[in-house]
C-alpha cells in the first residue's frame, strides 16, 4: 500500500509551505528516516524525512511550488511499480451555488421593460440579458433584422485543390465577413483625412484624468464622445441608404473597434447620446472590459449607426477602415508625431460629400469646449 508524505506545518500561522528541493527521484529506494527533500516557510527550512522504507512512486509537488499544509507532496510504495493513489477524493468538494433560472441582470431588464419571464425564450436553460434582448429585438426587429442578414455573401466558391481542412468561423469571424461583404457591395466609399494639433485634446484629456483620478487616459473615449455629439448635431453622419432612400437613424449607436486577442470587435454602445460625457466614458470602459473578456452580448456587437476606429496602439500612422454595415461614416484615428496627428474617415459618398466629411473631421479635431 502506498504511503503519502504530507507537507508539514512548520509555523502555526502559515497555511502554505514552499517545496525547496527533493533529494530523491521517482523510482529511488528510500529508507525510513532518510531525508527526501526540504521545504521552507518565510524563515525556516526543514528537512522532510521518509516515514517508511520503500520506493518513490511519485513526486506530486515540484521545487518552488507553494503547497497547502497537509497536502501530499510525494507517494512512497513497497514496490517500485505500485499505482499512485488518486488523492483527489480526499480533497474537500467545492460546493457550487444553485443558479437561478433568470440572471439578476436579466431580471432587472424584464422589470425595466415590464416583461414577463414566461414570454422570453431561454438560452442554455437560463434567461440571460441576451435572451431578453433577443426578445425585445424580435418585437422591434428593424435593426437586428437588417444587420443580421448581410447581403452579397451568396456567391459560392469551390474549395481549393491544395490539401487542407475546412474550419467553421467563429461568430466574430462571420460578422467580419458580413461587414466586408457589405462594404464591397453597397456603399460608394471614399476616404478623407486632415492634419490636426494633438495638444488641445491631450490637454483636455489630461485635465479630466487628473480631476477624476483615473488611471487610464480617457483621450480616445472623449474623442469618441465628440463623435456622438457631432453625429447628433449633424444627423446626416448617422444615416444610411436603403434601396435608394436615405434612412435617418433615431438613436446614435456608437460602434467602436476593439482588438481582443486575435479578434477584432466592433463593439456597440446603443443610444449613446442619452448619456453625458462622463457616463459615456464609463460605459465605453465597461464595454471594453467585457470585450477584452469576450463577454459582449449580441446587442453589443451589432447595430452601429456611426463608428470610430483607432489604430494608435500599434503606432499606425494612417489606416482606411471598412464601413460597418448600413452606416455611412467611420472615423480613422492614428498615432501622431511631433505634435501633429492625422484624423481620417471612410464614408459612403451616396450619403455624404467631401465637404461634409471635412467639416465633421474639423469638429472632431478639437474638444468641444475649446
Partner 1 sequence: MDTTLCPFDRDPTGKPIVGSDPRSLFAFGHLVRETEKLILDLFGRGLVSGTTHTCLGQEICQMAVVRALDDPRDHVLSNHRNHGHFLTYSGDFTGLVAEIMGRESGVCGGWGGSQHIAYRNFHSNGVQAGMTAIGVGIARALKAEGSRGIVATIIGDGTLGEGLLYESMNLASIWQAPVLFVVENNGIAQTTYTRHTIGGGIEDRGRAFGLAVWRLNDQHPEFAGQSADIVGQMRAHGGPGMLVIDTGRLGPHSKGDDLRPEAERDALVARDPLRKLAERITAADIAAIETANKAFLREVESRAMASPLSTFQAVPQHSFRAAIDVSADVAAMNPTKEVVANARQALNAALHGLFERDDAVVLLGEDLHDPYGGAFKVTAGLSEAFPGRVISTPISEAGITGAGIGLAMADRKPIVEIMFADFLTLCMDQIYNHAVKFPGIFPKSNVPLVIRAPCGGRRGYGPTHSQSPENIFVAVPGLTVVYGSHRHPLGQLLANAVERWPNPTLFLEHKLLYGEKLDPGGYESLVAGAEDMGADLFPTVRSGSRQPDVTLISFGGMLPVVEGAARKLEEEEELLVEIVAPSLLAPLPRQSLLALLDSRPLILVVEESHHQFGVSAEILAMLAENGFSGKVARLGTPPAPIASARSLESAQIPDEDAIISAVLRML
Rule CB under 8 A: which residues touch partner 1? 11-16, 41-44, 97, 99-100, 103-108, 128-129, 211-215, 278-279, 281-283, 285-286, 289, 295
The C-alpha cell that represents 66 in the structure block: 507553494
Please, which residue, 97 or 313, has the CB nearer to partner 1? 97
Residue 39 φ/ψ, nearest 5 degrees:
-130, 165
List, in order, residues 6 or more apart from 91 with CB less than 8 Å away.
none
Q: Taking the complex as a whole, how short is the minimal distance between the CB of residue 13 and partner 1, in angstroms?
A: 5
Please, which residue, 222 or 361, has the CB nearer to partner 1? 222
Alpha-carbon distance 122 to 368, whole Å?
44
Please, which residue, 9 or 29, has the CB nearer to partner 1? 9
Q: Taking the complex as a whole, how short is the minimal distance between the CB of residue 293 and partner 1, in angstroms?
A: 9
Identify the helix (H) or strand (E) that includes residue 142.
helix 142-148
CB 236 within 8 A of CB 351: yes
The helix-helix angle for 219-233 and 199-212 (nearest 10°) equals 110
Q: Taking the complex as a whole, how short is the minimal distance between the CB of residue 223 and partner 1, in angstroms?
A: 18
Helix (H/G/I), strand (E/B), else coil: 159: coil
Q: Taking the complex as a whole, how short is the minimal distance between the CB of residue 226 and partner 1, in angstroms?
A: 19
Q: Taking the complex as a whole, how short is the minimal distance between the CB of residue 231 and partner 1, in angstroms?
A: 21
Please, which residue, 16 or 197, has the CB nearer to partner 1? 16
Q: Give the Cα-Cα-Cα angle 184, 186, 191 (nearest 5 degrees).
A: 70
Alpha-carbon distance 307 to 287, whole Å?
14
Please, which residue, 67 or 322, has the CB nearer to partner 1? 67
Q: Taking the complex as a whole, how short is the minimal distance between the CB of residue 214 and partner 1, in angstroms?
A: 6
Please, which residue, 193 or 278, has the CB nearer to partner 1? 278
The C-alpha cell that represents 317 in the structure block: 500612422
Alpha-carbon distance 294 to 262, whole Å?
11
Amino acid at each position: 500500500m502506498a504511503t503519502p508524505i504530507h507537507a508539514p506545518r512548520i509555523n502555526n500561522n502559515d497555511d502554505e509551505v514552499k517545496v525547496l528541493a527533493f533529494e530523491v527521484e521517482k523510482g529511488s529506494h528510500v529508507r525510513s528516516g532518510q531525508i527526501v527533500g526540504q521545504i521552507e516557510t518565510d524563515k525556516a527550512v526543514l528537512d522532510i524525512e521518509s516515514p517508511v522504507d520503500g520506493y518513490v512512486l511519485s513526486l506530486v509537488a515540484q521545487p518552488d511550488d507553494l503547497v497547502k499544509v497537509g497536502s501530499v507532496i510525494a507517494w512512497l510504495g513497497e514496490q517500485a511499480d505500485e499505482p499512485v493513489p488518486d488523492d483527489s477524493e480526499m480533497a474537500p468538494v467545492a460546493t457550487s451555488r444553485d443558479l437561478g433560472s433568470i440572471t439578476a441582470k436579466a431580471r432587472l431588464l424584464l422589470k425595466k421593460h415590464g416583461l414577463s419571464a414566461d414570454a422570453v425564450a431561454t438560452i442554455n436553460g437560463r434567461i440571460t440579458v441576451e435572451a431578453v434582448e433577443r426578445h425585445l429585438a424580435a418585437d422591434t426587429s428593424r435593426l437586428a433584422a437588417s444587420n443580421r442578414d448581410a447581403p452579397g455573401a451568396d456567391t459560392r466558391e469551390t474549395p481549393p485543390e491544395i490539401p487542407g481542412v475546412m474550419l467553421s468561423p467563429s461568430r466574430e469571424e462571420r460578422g467580419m465577413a458580413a461587414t466586408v461583404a457589405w462594404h464591397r457591395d453597397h456603399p460608394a466609399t471614399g476616404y478623407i483625412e486632415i492634419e490636426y494639433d494633438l495638444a488641445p485634446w491631450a490637454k483636455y484629456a489630461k485635465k479630466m484624468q487628473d480631476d477624476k483620478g483615473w488611471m487610464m487616459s480617457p483621450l480616445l473615449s472623449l474623442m469618441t464622445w465628440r463623435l456622438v455629439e457631432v453625429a447628433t448635431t449633424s444627423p446626416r453622419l448617422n444615416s444610411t441608404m436603403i434601396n435608394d432612400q436615405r434612412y435617418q437613424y433615431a438613436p446614435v449607436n456608437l460602434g467602436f473597434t476593439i482588438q481582443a486577442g486575435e479578434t477584432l470587435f466592433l463593439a456597440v454602445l446603443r443610444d449613446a447620446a442619452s448619456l453625458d460625457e462622463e457616463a459615456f466614458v464609463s460605459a465605453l470602459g465597461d464595454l471594453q472590459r467585457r470585450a477584452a473578456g469576450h463577454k459582449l452580448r449580441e446587442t453589443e456587437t451589432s447595430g452601429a449607426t456611426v463608428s470610430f476606429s483607432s489604430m494608435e496602439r500599434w503606432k499606425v500612422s494612417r489606416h482606411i477602415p471598412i464601413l460597418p454595415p448600413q452606416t455611412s461614416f467611420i472615423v480613422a484615428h492614428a498615432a501622431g508625431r511631433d505634435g501633429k496627428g492625422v484624423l481620417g474617415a471612410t464614408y459612403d459618398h451616396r450619403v455624404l460629400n467631401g465637404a461634409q466629411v471635412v467639416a465633421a473631421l474639423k469638429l472632431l479635431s478639437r474638444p468641444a469646449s475649446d
